[in-house]
């Protein structure tokens, strides 16, 4: 028997702000409780839900894990620009520029990547 991923949990200070950002970034809907984000009806089977767990503490250093996103439509460059427009910022975690992804941070500084293309 094995386990499968079911949910991505992110500790956040401002649940409402982060729910708005991540729901728009992923095209997810915000549940009535305001802390759970659900995939759209047309999402592939196994799409992860997101839980924004309220935390009083600030983020202090680089994330030890993070999501990698890929543009559903269009190009990585266009997706990066869209995410920047939603409130993301560019992040420097020591990348060289030759990695095949762009590192961004959400409005609370949590890093994530936008891949140039889906890896197989």
pLDDT, one tens digit per residue, over 54-73 is 997 777 787 788 999 999 88
Give residue for tokens 């140039």.
116
Residue 68, classed as helix, strand or coil, is: strand
Separation of alpha carbons 73 and 84, rounded Å: 17
**The predicted structure's pLDDT at residue 118:** 64
Phi, psi at residue 70, to the nearest 5°? -135, 140
Cβ pair 54, 48 in contact under 8 A: no
Strands 101-105 and 111-115: antiparallel
Q: Give the mean model confidence (pLDDT) for residues 4-14.
A: 92
| Verdict on whether the full-model pTM lies above 0.85 | yes
Measured at the CA of 22, the angle between CA 32 and CA 83, to 5 degrees, comes to 150
Separation of alpha carbons 40 and 89, rounded Å: 25
pLDDT for 37-59, tens place per residue? 999 999 988 899 999 999 977 77
């Amino acid at each position: 028997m094995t386990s499968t991923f079911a949910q991505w949990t992110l500790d956040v200070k401002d649940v409402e702000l982060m729910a708005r950002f991540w729901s728009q970034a992923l095209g997810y809907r915000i549940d009535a409780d305001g802390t759970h984000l659900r995939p759209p009806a047309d999402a592939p089977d196994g799409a992860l839900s997101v839980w924004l767990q309220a935390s009083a503490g600030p983020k202090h250093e680089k994330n030890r894990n993070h999501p990698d996103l890929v543009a559903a439509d269009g190009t990585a460059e266009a997706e990066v620009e869209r995410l920047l427009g939603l409130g993301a910022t560019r992040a420097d975690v020591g990348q060289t520029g030759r990695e095949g992804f762009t590192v961004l941070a959400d409005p609370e500084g949590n890093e994530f990547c936008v891949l140039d293309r889906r890896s197989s």
